[in-house]
């Protein structure tokens, strides 16, 4: 297939902004999942005028497959500097896949307190769910073939792009 068969990430981001605008207020907590989810959350935070500081999670230690996957070499610091208790939150990820990252993020969020509501925003859903997780706000879905994966990248100017990877046989 010539070119990139995936949707334009910047257009998906705009679609997310429009979906979220009626729901997300200045006191809503936005929490991005490292790394791509944080990039998306940064842009959403600015576009939606959220006043609560942006939060970020690295769920490496909360994953249920930690033993088999090992520790990712670029573990980031989790940072939630606002009160989670009873606050409406939007958890932001770049690529929704098995649901295991989201489950791990929810476990970590509850270590900070009991939110009033947690919604999920994802730039793209690639299918392949192993847990009953669905996005409340979604840019697009993509049907991938076995051996394919999606990665969100960011250039020097901060523009987002989805890249399709093919597993080498």
| CATH code of residue 138 | 3.40.50.2020
In a domain, 101, yes or no: yes
Lookup result for tokens 């989810």: 37
Q: Kindly provide the residue ranges of all beta strands, DSSP E only, lying in the chain, ordered along the sequence.
A: 29-33, 55-57, 88-96, 117-125, 137-141, 148-154, 160-166
| Per-residue pLDDT, 61 | 78
In a domain, 1, yes or no: no
In a domain, 69, yes or no: no
| Per-residue pLDDT, 45 | 98
In a domain, 25, yes or no: yes
Neighbours of 17 (CB within 10 A): 18
Give the range of the structural domain holding residue 161, as residue numbers without chain letter.
Answer: 9-63+76-166
Encode pLDDT of 127-156 as tens digits: 999 999 999 999 999 999 989 999 999 999
In a domain, 4, yes or no: no
Cβ pair 151, 126 in contact under 8 A:
no
Encode pLDDT of 42-70 as tens digits: 999 999 999 999 999 999 878 665 555 55
In a domain, 70, yes or no: no
| Per-residue pLDDT, 2 | 47
In a domain, 148, yes or no: yes
| Per-residue pLDDT, 63 | 66
Nearest 5°: CA angle at 134, between 93 and 164?
50
Cβ contacts of 141 within 8 Å, gap of 6 or more: 124, 125, 126, 127
In a domain, 42, yes or no: yes
Provide the domain count of the chain. Answer: 1
Encode pLDDT of 76-117 as tens digits: 789 999 999 999 999 999 999 999 999 999 999 999 999 999
């Amino acid at each position: 297939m010539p070119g990139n068969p995936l949707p334009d990430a910047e257009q998906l981001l705009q679609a997310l902004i429009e979906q979220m605008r009626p729901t997300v207020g200045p006191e809503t907590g936005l929490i991005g999942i490292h790394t791509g989810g944080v990039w998306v959350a940064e842009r959403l935070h600015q576009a939606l005028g959220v006043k609560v500081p942006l939060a970020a999670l690295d769920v490496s230690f909360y994953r249920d497959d930690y033993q088999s996957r090992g520790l990712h070499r670029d573990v980031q610091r989790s940072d939630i500097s606002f009160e989670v208790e009873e606050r409406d939150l939007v958890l932001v990820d770049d690529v929704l896949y098995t649901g295991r990252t989201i489950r791990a993020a929810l476990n970590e969020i509850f270590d900070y307190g009991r939110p009033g509501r947690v919604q999920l925003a994802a730039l793209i859903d690639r299918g392949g769910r192993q847990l009953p997780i669905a996005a409340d706000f979604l840019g697009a879905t993509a049907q991938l073939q076995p051996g394919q994966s999606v990665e969100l990248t960011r250039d020097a100017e901060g523009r987002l792009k989805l890249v399709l990877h093919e597993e080498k046989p």
